[in-house]
Structure 1
Amino acid sequence: MIRITIIGSGNVAQHLIKAFTKSELVEIVQVYSRKKETLSSLIEFDKITSDFEELLESDLYIIAVSDKAIADVSKQLPFQNRIVVHTSGAASLDVLDAKNRKGVFYPLQTFSKNKEIDFSIIPLCLEAENTFDFRVLETVAKSISNAVFAINSDQRKALHVAAVFVNNFTNHLYQIGQEICTEHKVPFEILKPLIQETAEKINTLNPVDAQTGPAKRNDSVTIESHLAYLNNENQKNIYKLLTQSIQDDRQAL
């Protein structure tokens, strides 16, 4: 059994705790949190510490904190030559302190504390400095997920940028859609089947082939009508930018 310590108490840390608690190949030795009570509902209280000097020996230490805190946390670890990884999609391997063996354990998913998630389908992107450490990470990853990938720092950054487009930006467009509906007293729920169908299409179609709408058809009458209807200048600018992007792609094909 592989013994692990999780450092952090945010969304990623909490979901990892839940996932590893169910694994038969991994034992959570300890969890670090500045406020012990934050994690008291997820793991035995005596396994939680708020003091780096109290960290017990483990086979793997997973730093699940904000990107800006990774370097500082890794410097504070009171040991050397152990496997220490972070969970960031954007931070490089080199952000970790060199006194320990470095790696990355990046779950590519959006996490919310109160939203349960099936970890078995979450892609886990792994990176390590040597084969032995990678095998440890791979064993740990496969104990909770069926989608495990070897991804280097540059590839991970590409994935993270792509994820911002397909997740964060898309969700912001949902917000704009909801604002337009609210402004005109239309239930946003009417759009939800369309949102669902759009997301499900990419399971069987390439996104380029799944594209529909007035920009794809070069329907200038509808496009101008939409722009005239919108009252918000920010919404108009986004509409114009995305319309132009779709049309540019159409012309490139």
Structure 2
Amino acid sequence: MPEPEAAPVIPPTVFRKGLLLHCGAEVVDRGTLSRVETPSCTESWFPLPHDFLLKEVESQLTAHGFGIGETTHALSHEGKRYFGVLQILRPDDGPGDYSWIVGIRNSHDKTFPASLVMGTRVFVCDNLAFNGEVKLSRKHTRFAVRDLRFMTSRAVGRLGEQFHREDERIAAYKKQRLTDKAAHDLLIRAVDCRAITPTVLPEVIRYWREPLHEEFRSRTVWSLFNAFTEQFKAVNPHVAAKRSQALHGLCDSVCGLIA
């Protein structure tokens, strides 16, 4: 298969920490990622090499005018599952307390198709949150490689609008005040929608009552949101991405962002 050109990126530094804390995943460099063996194709399954997928996403980001900053790559399940995080350089000054990111995931054990997800990373705590997953392949069918460039280009082409909507969402989270009673109600609803499990509820409550960072002492949806995402560091990145999307839906409803 043809090799897409990889975009120039800034070497990872502190940004590694956001994924290093996730259990079940090992942070690796590009060389290790490129050496992961891709399983042989079958009549109905055509797995995509992790590194090939990453290069295609980088190529399309560059083609659409996005600058790429720090990157982090994690493997789990003996290299069969890949999760990558790419920091997107903003064209403006932005809020200053978080950055845009793109998450990439891929599997060689048929657990999920290649996909792209947008999100944010909060600087003070390295908390990651994702939203809006887009599948880049049709469950690794025999046309996966042929269709990858088109599907990736289409997904990346929507990112600009999605990132600006995310800025508006976070601004609403920061503005929406929460009483302890309202926060406790949200915590229970978060269990109901599977944004968290009952076993970690006490930990999220502690982060809400005793914030780890001064920035989250204000009693807002944003502070509670980061109490949740602080706990997400303790789970596999694939699970964390799924839970953060459920959490977004819950917080959006509180802020009146969805009908």
TM-score w.r.t. length of structure 2: 0.28
Higher relative contact order (CA 8 A, sep 6+): 2
TM-score w.r.t. length of structure 1: 0.28
Normalized per residue, which structure has more helix?
Answer: 1
